[in-house]
Amino acid sequence: MNKLLLLTQRGLSIIELLIALAISSLLILGITQIYVDNKSNYFFQQGQSDNTENARYALLILEEELRRVGYQIRPDDDPQYAFRQENIGNCTFAAGETINFDPNNSRLCLRYQPHLPGLTACDGIAQPGPPQPYELPTGATNLVVDLTFTGGSLLCNDQPLFDNVVDLQFEFGIAADGSRQADSYTESPATGFGIQSVRYAALIRSRFDNIASDTQSSAFEYWQETYNGNAGAAAPDRALYLATESTINLRNLTR
């Protein structure tokens, strides 16, 4: 009886304890790895989503503003009269000019007349519009939009639109001799050449670092080779990069 009682009161052996610890360690390692993988996948998907949304937003803003360039409430007015020479903030326009680009400051200046009361530009400020179609409101002024790329952000009249922009490039379809059809593209349109279309390209970076498995990014490499002549360049970090491009015709200035 005493021998049986002693046998039933024995604890775990060293071997049993080691086996239990090994099994529990494997379970903990497996659960930890699943958590790390899920977290990495979440940041990867979130980074891709952020880049895609920024690219779509950039296209939306630029397309909306550029399609308004040169709009006149009274289309029969002479553009030289409707858009007189003026200096507004950092933007300077010659008579009849409705779009110009300052490559030194990465500043795109646009102007047009609001076609609806309460129309808002990309800065969100409502503007007075015509009380009736083709009727100029009292004290009517042209709406000027200053789109500036600086410090990794795109600004509209000094109001930030979105961040995480690595680089932004513009090319302009121009026409000489008063033609209203673009015949070539240039990064710096000269005075006297009418801008008929705008081609833009943006390199966007995710807000999270250390998402990609390495620094080899096809988008970053494409950008460096296309715009900087640097083939085979590796990204400076493991963030996600997205290159987006589009061409927008200025419908109020073209046929």
Same domain flag for 125 and 51: no
Report the pLDDT value the prediction gives residue 180, as an integer from 0 to 100.
67
Per-residue pLDDT of the chain (255 residues; tens, 9 = 90+): 455 554 555 666 787 777 878 888 888 887 887 777 777 777 778 878 888 888 888 888 889 999 999 998 888 888 888 888 999 889 999 998 999 999 899 999 999 988 877 788 888 888 777 777 777 766 667 889 999 999 889 999 999 988 889 999 999 988 766 666 777 888 887 766 778 899 999 999 998 888 888 888 999 999 999 998 898 889 999 889 999 999 999 888 865
Beta bridge partners of 198: 172, 248
* Domain shared by 179 and 220, yes or no: yes
83 contacts 111 by C-beta, under 8 angstroms:
yes
Task: Report how far residue 199's alpha carbon sits from residue 187's, in angstroms, rounded to the nearest whole number.
Answer: 10
pLDDT of residue 225: 93
- One domain for residues 44 and 81: no
pLDDT of residue 9: 54
Query: Same structural domain for residues 216 and 198?
Result: yes
Classify residue 215: in a domain, yes or no.
yes
Nearest C-alpha neighbor of 43 from the set 196, 219, 239 = 239
Instruction: Quote the domain boundaries for residue 243.
Output: 15-68+164-255
pLDDT of residue 11: 63
Looking at the structure of the chain, the number of domains it has is: 2
Of 104, 135, 162, the last residue of a domain is: 162
Structure tokens at 152: 């990794």
- Could you tell me if 206 and 240 are in contact, meaning their C-beta atoms sit under 8 angstroms apart? yes
Chain position carrying tokens 């858009």:
83
pLDDT in the model for residue 24: 80
- Establish if 10 belongs to a structural domain: no
User: Can you give the pTM of this predicted structure?
Assistant: 0.79
76 in a domain, yes or no? yes
